Amino acid sequence: MRKKKIKGIILAGGSNTRLFPLTATTSKQLLPIYDRQMIFYPINVLVKAGIKDILIIVAPEHSGQFLNLLGSIFEKYNIHIEFKVQKIPRGLADAFIMGEDFIDEGNVAMILGDNIFEDDLGKAIGKFEKGGMIFAKEVSDDPRRYGIIEFDKDGNAVSIEEKPENPKSNFCVAGAYVFDNRVIDIAKKLKPSKRGEIEITDVNRKYLEMGELHVEKLSGEWMDAGTFDSLLETGRIVKEKEIYKKFDPIIDMAIFEFNKELKELAKKRLR
């Protein structure tokens, strides 16, 4: 049986109110993490997994900025980036409904645009074939802030709860998910939660109930750059651990050529 193609989705929409006023003029995912914009980190995960087709879901007010940066930067490398505008955020799982035509008959890897990983997720994503796969990271701070995975004595996931009052473990769901094509129908059948959103936890739980959810445990840093402190801390970790040196050569070359073009354009304007 031929292995299905995996496509990638990056969530880069939302109002990003926690980072006002930084996000009053640009998207959170276009803010810098050390030497490059945040959006390049999730793109790197997908490129390292061998994914050539990427859909970035953006907010309407920042769609032009994403297009200016990423519209043609990877074309010569046979990496195709599409954009879809999300006017009203309806939850993480809504991405699979919005991306139905894009996903088509393939499988899909979805990454949150403000999550940065030290581990190379691309290896696990590239091997994916069927069911669902999520990534878990043991946290030292309050686990009630996260989606929590409970494991049995053999290390198998047995339950997933979103921000539980009494967490059954310290392992939280990190912001990267891989599913087969059935995720589209699963997302369509979900009922909105109390906060009116289609929850990714419910998708994870459905695959768990079917006995088809695989959990990869992360050993390296996992960073959610969604606040002033975490944005600053993420940049520090990326620099100190030299995560910025671990990009796929395609990403580095594309950024280099983009910068070169901008410098040449600036010189022409000064003449």
pTM over 0.85: yes
Q: Which amino acid is at 86?
A: Q
Residue 35, in any domain of the structure: yes
Residue 165, in any domain of the structure: no
In a structure prediction context, what are the per-residue pLDDT tens digits for the chain, which is 271 residues long?
567 899 999 999 987 888 999 999 999 999 999 999 999 999 999 999 999 999 999 999 999 999 999 999 999 999 999 999 999 889 999 999 999 999 999 999 999 999 999 999 999 999 999 999 999 999 988 888 899 999 999 999 999 998 899 999 999 999 999 999 999 999 999 999 988 899 999 999 999 999 999 999 999 999 999 999 999 999 999 999 999 999 999 999 999 999 998 888 777 777 6
What is the DSSP track for 1-36? -PPPPEEEEEEE-S--GGGTTGGGSS-GGGSEETTE
Q: How far apart are CA 143 and CA 163, in angstroms?
A: 7
Q: Are 56 and 80 a contacting pair, CB within 8 Å?
A: no
User: Looking at the chain, how many residues does it have?
Assistant: 271
Residue 261, in any domain of the structure: yes
Other CB atoms within 10 A of residue 155 CB: 8
Residue 158, in any domain of the structure: no
CB neighbour class for 66 (10 Å; exposed up to 12, middle 13-18, buried from 19): buried
Q: Which residue segment(s) compose the domain that 198 sits in?
A: 6-136+171-270
pLDDT confidence of residue 225: 93
Residue 151, in any domain of the structure: no
Residue 143, in any domain of the structure: no
Residue 145, in any domain of the structure: no
Residue among 54, 53, 42, 56 at smallest CA distance from 84: 56
Instruction: List the CATH number of the domain containing 214.
Output: 3.90.550.10
Overall domain count for the chain: 1
pLDDT confidence of residue 2: 60
pLDDT confidence of residue 179: 98
Residue 164, in any domain of the structure: no
